[in-house]
């Protein structure tokens, strides 16, 4: 891999990352990974591996620069890499934020509602994963039930949760029922995230998730969520270098497990609030970290993931709007291939909001229009139209206006424009709620072969899940 083309600032970050991996190393909490590293000639002391720059880059170079995530419905196939940008769902929240800021535990009905909403939105080709963590579904193997609910209510590209070796094998068994076991080795069908434990560690569960996915050649996002000032240096340059070191080490291990397995360079790194020590989502520092992550990944020739419509706001508010717009705009403009947490997420990842989900769809639409830029040609310059209208003329009734009025301007679905009768805040919330309700009311469940559905149910029952609970999911 030739890194001579790197900008000066990226080169300094890269070199700092290499120094960290060579001098301090990375700890891997799994004996099989330690044995693998030793077999590949990596220096290991206890559970800590020390990589040279040449070793890291040799293994990272084996990762494909692009791959396709094949959905059950081919119209939702996703090209991951290059200049393609795709939105992905929220992830991991245990709570739901109501419009007034009140919180309640997330339930399985909420999980399915969000799966339906993501399915309905034309902005998404991916669905699933731990969109929320349902309180009424706790216990071993629950990631299998989330996968079942995802494929029951959506045929878009599949995101899954993480878990132990046994749980991940369960996911692979279910994907084998849906697509065919041999198919998994030839086509990426599901994507997950293996997070580092900053600073400089990989825990057992994340390594087992990586091992299980790589075994079946399914793509894994290797991601870090460093917090400048608490789990990483307070200066962003140091934090970005630490994130880069962790992610590259994880990618190298994934390639040692199986060369050519598709992996994604991931970052949710941001700063800490130095008054409280908590994560500062929606911050300008986070936006800078996502931008640098995308730049680094593209220089390494890797697909990338990061960012989102992120906010620390506790309710739907002006704060949730400006923080989400900042982080999403920067991330999209940087060409981040997969933008997770792109709608609905609030309060430092701790909750999802139906209302903010709808607002974030508007933000995504606005950003897409901005990124599209200005098309300049003889038709759009409209010199003849201007000359025909002349001095003090008008363009509202021009044929040119009729031709472009639905193509050129962004047409908002919830934003208020022009004269508003009554309280504007009430009207905006009414628009938000009406759109959410319309999306759920017009949702149409995609087809899932009855034979495949019965095989999935039989598999889940065999794993100890209550048949009545499984049946209840079909009625939500």
Q: Which domains does the chain have, with CATH numbers?
A: 8-60 (no CATH), 66-372 (3.20.20.480), 378-404 (no CATH)
Whether 185 and 217 have beta carbons less than 8 Å apart is answered as: yes
Question: What pTM did the predictor assign?
Answer: 0.96
- The mean pLDDT value for 246-273 works out to 97
The better pLDDT of the pair 1, 188 is held by 188
Please, is 208 exposed, middle or buried when counting C-beta atoms within 10 Å of its C-beta (0-12, 13-18, 19+)?
buried
- The mean pLDDT value for 436-449 works out to 97
pLDDT confidence of residue 447: 95
Q: In whole angstroms, what is the distance from residue 476 CA to residue 471 CA?
A: 10
Q: Is pLDDT of 370 > 70?
A: yes
* Mean pLDDT, the chain, integer: 96
- The mean pLDDT value for 201-218 works out to 97
- The mean pLDDT value for 318-322 works out to 97
- pLDDT-derived band at 141 (thresholds 50, 70, 90) equals confident
pLDDT confidence of residue 137: 82
Which residue in 57, 53, 24, 15 sits closest to 300, CA to CA?
A: 57
DSSP notation for 203-263: -HHHHHHHHHHHHTT--EEEEE--EETTTB-SSHHHHHHHHHHHHHHHHHHHHHHSTT--E
Per-residue pLDDT of 3-22, as tens digits, reads 777 889 999 999 999 999 99
Q: Is pLDDT of 466 > 70?
A: yes
Q: Which residues contact 397 (CB under 8 A, 6 or more apart)?
A: none
**Can you say whether the dihedral through the CA atoms of 261, 267, 268, 269 is positive or negative?**
positive
Strand positions, DSSP E, 22-179: 26-28, 43-45, 48-50, 66-69, 78-81, 86-87, 95-97, 103-105, 126-128, 157-159
Q: Is pLDDT of 111 > 70?
A: yes
Q: Is pLDDT of 138 > 90?
A: no
- pLDDT-derived band at 183 (thresholds 50, 70, 90) equals confident
Residue 105 backbone dihedrals phi, psi, to 5 degrees: -65, 145
pLDDT confidence of residue 6: 82
Q: Is pLDDT of 119 > 80?
A: yes
Q: In whole angstroms, what is the distance from residue 251 CA to residue 297 CA?
A: 11
- The mean pLDDT value for 257-281 works out to 95
pLDDT confidence of residue 139: 63
- pLDDT-derived band at 140 (thresholds 50, 70, 90) equals low
- The mean pLDDT value for 379-403 works out to 96
pLDDT confidence of residue 101: 83
pLDDT confidence of residue 319: 97
Share of the chain above pLDDT 90, in %: 93
Q: In whole angstroms, what is the distance from residue 89 CA to residue 120 CA?
A: 13
Whether 14 and 56 have beta carbons less than 8 Å apart is answered as: no
Whether 158 and 127 have beta carbons less than 8 Å apart is answered as: yes
Residue 280 to residues 164, 227, 291, 351, Cα–Cα distance (Å): 29, 8, 16, 15
Which residue in 20, 329, 411 sits closest to 196, CA to CA?
A: 20
């Amino acid at each position: 891999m030739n890194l001579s083309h790197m900008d000066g600032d990226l080169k300094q970050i890269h070199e700092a990352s290499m120094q960290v991996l060579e001098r301090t190393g990375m700890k891997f909490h799994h004996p099989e990974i330690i044995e693998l590293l030793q077999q590949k000639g990596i220096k290991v002391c206890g559970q800590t591996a020390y990589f040279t720059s040449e070793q890291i880059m040799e293994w990272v170079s084996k990762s494909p620069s692009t791959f396709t995530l094949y959905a059950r419905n081919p119209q939702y196939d996703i090209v991951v890499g290059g200049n393609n940008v795709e939105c992905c769902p929220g992830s991991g929240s245990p709570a739901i934020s109501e419009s007034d800021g009140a919180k309640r535990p997330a339930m399985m009905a909420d999980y399915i509602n969000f799966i339906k909403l993501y399915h309905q939105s034309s902005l998404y080709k991916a669905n699933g994963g731990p969109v929320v963590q349902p309180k009424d579904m706790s216990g071993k193997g629950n990631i299998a039930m989330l996968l079942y609910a995802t494929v029951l209510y959506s045929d878009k590209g599949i995101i899954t949760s993480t878990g132990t070796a046994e749980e991940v094998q369960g996911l692979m068994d279910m994907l084998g029922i849906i697509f065919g076991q041999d198919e998994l080795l030839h086509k990426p069908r599901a994507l997950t995230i293996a997070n580092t434990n900053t600073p400089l560690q990989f825990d057992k569960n994340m390594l087992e998730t990586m091992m299980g996915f790589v075994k079946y050649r399914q793509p894994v996002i290797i991601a870090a969520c460093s917090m400048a000032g608490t789990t990483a240096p307070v200066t962003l340059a140091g934090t970005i270098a630490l994130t880069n070191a962790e992610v590259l080490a994880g990618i190298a291990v994934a390639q040692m497990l199986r060369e050519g397995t598709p992996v994604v360079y991931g970052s949710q790194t941001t700063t800490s609030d130095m008054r409280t020590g908590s994560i500062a989502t929606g911050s300008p520092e986070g936006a800078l970290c996502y931008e640098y992550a995308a730049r680094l990944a593209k220089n390494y020739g890797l697909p990338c993931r990061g960012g989102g419509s992120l906010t620390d706001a506790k309710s739907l508010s002006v704060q949730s709007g400006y923080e989400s717009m900042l982080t999403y705009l920067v991330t999209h403009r940087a060409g981040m291939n997969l933008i997770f947490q792109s709608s609905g997420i609030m309060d430092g990842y701790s909750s999802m909001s139906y209302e903010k989900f709808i607002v974030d769809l508007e933000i995504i639409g606005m950003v897409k229009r901005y990124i599209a830029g200005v098309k300049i040609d003889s038709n759009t310059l409209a010199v003849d139209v201007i000359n025909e209208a002349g001095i003090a003329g008008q363009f509202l009734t021009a044929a040119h206006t009729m031709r472009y009025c639905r193509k050129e301007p962004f047409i908002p679905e919830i934003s208020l424009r022009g004269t508003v009768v009554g309280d504007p805040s009430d009207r905006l919330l009414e628009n938000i709620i009406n759109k959410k309700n319309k999306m759920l009311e017009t949702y149409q469940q995609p087809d899932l072969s009855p034979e495949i559905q019965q095989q999935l149910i039989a598999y889940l029952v065999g794993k100890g899940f209550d048949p009545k609970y499984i049946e209840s999911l079909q009625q939500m």
